[in-house]
Amino acid sequence: MITFVLVHGAWHGPWAWDRVIPLLRAGGVHTLTPNLSADGDHGLHDHAAAVVAAIDTVPEEDKVVLVGHSYSGLVVREAADARADAVDHVILVDGWAGADGVSLLDLGGDPVAAAISTAVETPGGGWQIPAPPPDTFGIVDNDPAVWLTSRLIPQTMRTFTEPTRLTGAIDRIPGTAIYCLPQIYPFARFGEAVGYQTLALDGPHDVMLTDPEALAEMLLTSHSVQVSRNGRSGQW
């Protein structure tokens, strides 16, 4: 059996995958959606540990596919590196990715630095980054924007500044980087830089909300193709 571990991005929660999960399950796979806590001062390493904990609940004979959206591209790569023998495939969806020691701040440059500066200057804040408006994620229609705004939560600053810890084991795991068009950041280049196959998908950054069918189909297809390329087999 295949288990997709779906990891949400910054300011979001496991609910981000609610429209995709039934479609993946209809395709014959199991799904897990670990929560990346925004409580306290959790950082990237804490979130990677939460994903590792989810991986550890999957039966040993199952194949594990880690899917990371946006910020969680960094999270799933660190988690996969820690459980390289258990993870069959890593898929990024508009995901940040880099080498050992790289943080989201390093990859994001001035725009991310500006967001951090704003958080520091927020009265009563300083360690949390407030959620940006829905159009940042490509959600522009009024009703969906109101719906999304009601669910977004602040993100801890450490998730943006903490450097990824990778041993090199991640390089043994096949990867795919799905990037949404038009690109808001060079996610295709991030994927290419870490050696992943890149695939374009028309849609906004939060494509799982606007077009879950297209995303679910690409997730299933990209993993199926990866299995064929690597000569691996598994029961769907």
In this prediction, residue 120 carries a pLDDT of 62
| Tokens standing for residue 153 | 């939560």
Residue 177 in contact with residue 188, Cβ under 8 Å?
yes
pLDDT at residue 232, as a whole number: 44
Residue-level pLDDT at 14: 98
Q: What is the pLDDT of residue 109?
A: 86
Question: If one looks up domain 2-101+163-230 in CATH, what number appears?
Answer: 3.40.50.1820
pLDDT at 41: 82
Distance CA 192, CA 82 (A): 22
Kindly list the domain boundaries of the chain, sorted by start residue: 2-101+163-230
pLDDT value at position 67? 98
Q: Are 202 and 181 in contact (CB under 8 A)?
A: yes
Residuewise pLDDT in 10s, the chain (236 residues): 899 999 999 999 999 999 999 999 999 999 999 999 988 789 999 999 999 999 999 999 999 999 999 999 999 999 999 999 999 999 999 999 999 999 999 999 887 787 777 666 665 556 788 888 999 999 999 999 999 999 999 999 899 999 999 999 999 999 999 999 999 899 999 999 999 999 999 999 999 999 999 999 999 999 776 665 665 433 32
